[in-house]
Amino acid sequence: MAKIQHSKQKVFWLLRQLSAVTLFAFAAVHIGVVLYKLDRPLLYEDIRSLLSHWGWMLFYAFLIFLVISHAYMELWRVLTDRNPSPRYKRILRIVLLSLGGFLLVLSEWNLILLGR
């Protein structure tokens, strides 16, 4: 592992590690629910009844947020690996935040509609 120089990099590294561990735990719960709690074949009504409970709705809302934020952090890491110009970083940040925000709003909106 490369040496971490700045405190900003340390915080970013810690956030990536925490989101990865949390995402793994949430994904394990999601897979367990889909495999063992829901009947086969998976029906729209079963998923809708699961999401009608506020606890599961909150769980899946946080899971969606974790997936999008973790993807943002990793894309940022990969695309700025070669230390590009500040202008490129600014444009990339705008594009990634816009795309992530759009996906988050779209996903959460669909989750809310499905849980009604």
Residue 3: inside a domain, yes or no?
no
Cα(103)–Cα(65) distance, integer angstroms:
10
Residue 34: inside a domain, yes or no?
yes
Question: 43: domain CATH number?
Answer: 1.20.1300
Question: Are 80 and 89 in contact, with CB atoms under 8 Å apart?
Answer: yes
pLDDT, position 106: 95
Domain limits for position 41: 13-115
Burial class (CB in 10 A: 0-12, 13-18, 19+), 38: middle
Q: Is the pTM of this model over 0.75?
A: yes
Residue 101: inside a domain, yes or no?
yes
Residue 5: inside a domain, yes or no?
no
What is the total count of domains within the chain? 1
Could you read off the pLDDT of 26-45 as tens digits, one per residue? 999 999 998 888 888 888 88
Residue 41: inside a domain, yes or no?
yes
DSSP string, 36-58: IISPSSP-HHHHHHHHTSHHHHH
